[in-house]
Amino acid sequence: MTQTFTVSNRVDDRGNIARIRLTPEDGSGLPLPTAGAHLDIYLPEVDLWRQYSLCSDPAETAFYEIGVLKDPNSRGGSEAMHRLATPGARFKIEGPRNHFPLDETADHSVLIGGGIGVTPMIAMAARLHALGKAFTLHYCTRSAEVTAFTDTLCAAPFAERVVYHFDDQDADQKLDLERDLPPAADGTHLYVCGPQGFMDWVISTAEAAGHQPQNVHREYFSADVELSGDSFDVECAQSGVTVTVGADETIAKALAKEGVMIEVKCEEGVCGTCMTDVLSGEIEHRDQFLTDEEREDGDVIMACCSRGKGKLVLDI
């Protein structure tokens, strides 16, 4: 369901991060999110949907809060949010949705946020504290001078569980996965969010140390994705449409030309919006959304970025 929300408050924090509070324009109650959830926000000026994780306490009933980094490599979304999200501004919003859920049954949770990737971790920490669960939040940034949310975290009832790691400090203060990750155990779950290289390092190190893939949870805010490749055919089983996806096209764009619309939001294979069922064919996965097990199943594809070999038959 799409709702209109109003910006009720904005704080321009350190590190070019805007903390934006959103309240329903009609005064209706908020659908309570689960920890790790995000909002889909439409930016009409640039005709883009973008996803932003909630950093507010999942138990908060008056507002949602997000943190938005003004990324110098932005494709238009973060710059538009920084420019447009002033008090009183109105946005169409869908959600909250959650592709990064917290396992509330875990014995011990380790939350690792790199830069703006700390936003879902703050909500997770609030929920774990409310549940009385054991956890540690590792917050990694370049320096204390660019570390947003410090006032919120220092005042939080779980402040003693937050460990800060700054790149410009000595080696003992930086994140050391050999030291900072607990031993692998069935009841230990890890959560990581941040820049792609940072996440890949944490995930690969954790799994090499024996943490099972199903216990290492991840959410990519963005990803470097190569969209081009050899052309291939796509048949739509329900509509009867068949197209050739060119070397520099995506499945979604090729089908749109023939009137078959697949909803696309992130365009980078990180949000899951364009996930489409595959009936047959060899998939060349390029997304950061599916797990290895889901890729091996070979029955879904992200139509915004992934490709096929030869011919794919989609259930649309």
Residues whose CB falls within 8 Å of the CB of residue 152, separated by 6 or more in sequence, listed in order: 122
Bridge partners of 65? 21
Task: Indicate if the pLDDT at residue 224 is higher than 80.
Answer: no
Q: Which amino acid is at 37?
A: A
pLDDT band at 265 (very low <50, low <70, confident <90, very high): confident
Task: Indicate if the pLDDT at residue 5 is higher than 90.
Answer: yes
Closest CA to 42 of 100, 88, 99, 81: 81
Q: How far is CA 50 from the centre of its chain?
A: 10
Domains of the chain plus CATH, in order, are: 2-97 (2.40.30.10), 108-220 (3.40.50.80), 232-314 (3.10.20.30)
Task: Indicate if the pLDDT at residue 134 is higher than 90.
Answer: yes
Decide if 139 contacts 163 (C-beta within 8 A): yes
A 10 A CB-CB count for 208 gives 9
Query: Would you call 122 helix, strand, or coil by DSSP?
Result: helix
Q: In what order do the strands lie in the sheet with 48-53?
A: 48-53, 38-43, 90-97, 2-13, 17-24, 64-69
Task: Indicate if the pLDDT at residue 227 is higher than 90.
Answer: no
Q: Which amino acid is at 231?
A: S
Decide if 191 contacts 125 (C-beta within 8 A): no
Determine if residue 36 is left, alpha or beta; phi over 0 gives left, psi from -120 to 50 gives alpha, anything else beta.
left
pLDDT band at 226 (very low <50, low <70, confident <90, very high): confident
Question: DSSP letters of 27-90?
Answer: -PPPPPPPTT-EEEEEETTTTEEEEEEB-S-TT--S-EEEEEE--TT-SSHHHHHHHH--TT-E
pLDDT band at 280 (very low <50, low <70, confident <90, very high): very high
Query: Would you call 103 helix, strand, or coil by DSSP?
Result: coil
Higher pLDDT, 265 or 302: 302
Task: Indicate if the pLDDT at residue 77 is higher than 90.
Answer: no
- In this structure, of 20-34, 81-95, 185-199, the range with the lowest mean pLDDT score is 20-34
Decide if 237 contacts 313 (C-beta within 8 A): yes
Q: What is the mean pLDDT of residues 153-175?
A: 94
pTM of the model: 0.85
Residue 64 has what pLDDT?
97
- In this structure, of 115-119, 148-152, 292-296, the range with the lowest mean pLDDT score is 292-296
Residues in the chain: 316
Residue 223 has what pLDDT?
66
Q: By percentage, how much of the chain surpasses pLDDT 70?
A: 98
pLDDT tens digits, one per residue of 178-221: 999 999 999 999 999 999 899 999 999 999 999 999 999 999 87
E strands, the chain, in order: 2-13, 17-24, 38-43, 48-53, 64-69, 90-97, 108-114, 134-141, 162-166, 188-194, 216-220, 232-236, 242-245, 275-284, 300-302, 307-314
pLDDT averaged over every residue in the chain: 93
Residue 46 has what pLDDT?
83
Task: Indicate if the pLDDT at residue 225 is higher than 80.
Answer: no
What does the alpha-carbon distance between residue 269 and residue 312 come to, in Å, rounded to a whole number? Answer: 18
Determine if residue 197 is left, alpha or beta; phi over 0 gives left, psi from -120 to 50 gives alpha, anything else beta.
alpha
What does the alpha-carbon distance between residue 192 and residue 100 come to, in Å, rounded to a whole number? Answer: 10
pLDDT tens digits, one per residue of 11-23: 999 999 999 999 9
Task: Indicate if the pLDDT at residue 113 is higher than 80.
Answer: yes
What does the alpha-carbon distance between residue 217 and residue 213 come to, in Å, rounded to a whole number? Answer: 8
